[in-house]
Amino acid sequence: MESNGRTKVKELLNSTAYGSDVIVKGWVRTFRNDRFIAINDGSTINNIQAVVDFENTDASLLKRLTTGAAISVTGKLIESQGAGQKVEIQVKQLEILGDSDAEKFPLQPKKHSLEFLREIGHLRFRTNTFNAVFKVRHALAFAIHQFFNDRGFVYMHTPIITASDAEGAGEMFRVTSLDMANPPLSEDGKIDFKQDFFGRSTNLTVSGQLEGELAAMALGEIYTFGPTFRAENSNTTRHLAEFWMIEPEVAFNDLKDNAQLAESLLQFVIQYALENCADELEFLKNRLLEEEKSKPQDERSEMDLIAKLHLCSTSNFERLTYTEAIEILRNSTPNKKKKFKYLIENWGADLQSEHERYLVEKHFKKPVILTDYPKDIKSFYMRQNDDGKTVAAMDILFPGIGEIIGGSQREERLDLLEKRMHEMNIPADELYWYLDTRRFGTAPHAGFGLGFERLVLFVTGMTNIRDVIAFPRAPKTAEF
């Protein structure tokens, strides 16, 4: 029992304490036949049924039992007569805590489209779908911390406001306290950021990696789990302007260790969700089956959601190099039949999501770890391989998602790192602090970034990334 005397619906639905008096507080989902109230309190996607003795209840009170109203019910827990539930409550006392005008409340007890629910994002938590999604999201976040904590990693909070615009992971949002309608100008007529809050131009971080490396080179094993921001104007179902990233960084790890850590992490957290979110995943599995009914047969998933999660959490991920992947793609049917939007002709081409998804969904039919990409399509800090052409990068590709993780072994050799920065026009003097790790006791190390929403997308079987974060931030979208 909670201190306010209420018992949660989740607990009551599993209770056999027939005959005892209980208090339930929650929101009305439906009220049928002037008798049956389905109450949801968020503790589970399942409702508890409360039966009203309508002949002895004030008609004006019954009228207020509308979808969305908050109520408190006191009554006797009894074995249910009806099908579909084990227990129900025989109402003795009924109190309306907060009315909900049925004419105006936008959620009706019927299926709403996800597009519509996005427009009423402030209310969509009240649907079963979003209840399930946010429960799974929570479980995954918890499992991530547990995974790292069990292995002795230190959780680092890297800065959200950064002055380094060197990483080049994406377009950045500027942070300023200047009056942008009337900014101070320097002699050359440009905005004088020396007069800005931090005395320099600053941005929202696109990644905590560089700072994470500094910590790893002393603490050994660290991870970050925080918000990152990219002003990329890509209106896709896989990109947000504000998303959460998990970035482990480990001293003395090479690329193979890095891939192993990533695989273990993903399998651990998926397994955790399977074990701890059974009801939610069952619901989401059925939601997806229902949604896919409207699709042509060949676009439907071959496996249901839970089978897919089992497969990915138990089978080894396929490991291959970029060069091997290019060969497979070059000889693939969609490439030969010119079905790809971007045809694979030459080594060096950047892989598009159509290629990534072909490899994962059609060719290997399981998660894939691609390694050793051409250096020209990857970041300056990735360790240069002996062939002079590739770097020790890795991307992990997941069915239905494409890239879920991007990572690498880092270039620990100062001379090679400085040379690469020069070639790529990265200002080495601004990043003196980063280079210091290579100057003083440098050592091999590796890490990766896992996009949290892409993980949640995969585990929930949702199709749009805006439906797995409470308040999505995307181009022209910052409501609520």
Please tell me whether residue 204 binds ligand ATP under the rule CB under 6 A: no
Please tell me whether residue 405 binds ligand ATP under the rule CB under 6 A: yes
Please tell me whether residue 453 binds ligand ATP under the rule CB under 6 A: yes
Among 447, 451, 461, 472, binds ligand ATP (CB under 6 A): 451
Q: Name the minimum Å distance from CB 228 to ligand ATP.
A: 7
Among 133, 217, 245, 325, binds ligand ATP (CB under 6 A): 245
Residue 318: enclosing H or E segment and its boundaries?
strand 318-321
Among 406, 447, 461, 472, binds ligand ATP (CB under 6 A): 406
Compute and round to an integer the Cα radius of gyration of the chain.
27
Judge contact between 90 and 51, C-beta under 8 A: yes
Q: How far apart are CA 136 and CA 139, in angstroms?
A: 5
Judge contact between 229 and 242, C-beta under 8 A: yes
318 versus 403: smaller Cβ distance to ligand ATP: 403
Among 124, 126, 137, 239, binds ligand ATP (CB under 6 A): 239
64 versus 137: smaller Cβ distance to ligand ATP: 137
Q: Residue by residue, what is the 3-state secondary structure of 354-415? A: HHHHHHHHHHHCCCEEEEEEEHHHCCCCECECCCCCEEEEEEEEECCCEEEEEEEEECCCHH
Please tell me whether residue 285 binds ligand ATP under the rule CB under 6 A: no
Please tell me whether residue 378 binds ligand ATP under the rule CB under 6 A: no
Q: Which stretch binds ligand ATP (CB under 6 A): 21-29, 54-62, 295-303, 404-412?
A: 404-412
395 versus 412: smaller Cβ distance to ligand ATP: 395
Beta strands (DSSP E) in 33-69 are 36-40, 48-51
Q: Which stretch binds ligand ATP (CB under 6 A): 86-94, 130-138, 239-247, 278-286?
A: 239-247
Q: Which two tokens stand for residue 65?
A: 């039992």
Residues sharing a CB contact under 8 Å with residue 432, sequence separation 6 or more, in sequence order: none
Among 61, 78, 107, 169, binds ligand ATP (CB under 6 A): 169
Tell me if residue 266 falls in helix, strand or coil: helix
51 versus 245: smaller Cβ distance to ligand ATP: 245
DSSP letters of 328-353?
HHHTSHHHHTT-SSS---STTPPPPH
Cα 236-238-240 angle, rounded to 5 deg: 80
114 versus 169: smaller Cβ distance to ligand ATP: 169
221 versus 453: smaller Cβ distance to ligand ATP: 453
Binding residues (CB under 6 A) for ligand ATP: these are 169-170, 230, 232, 238-240, 243, 245, 403-406, 449, 451, 453-454
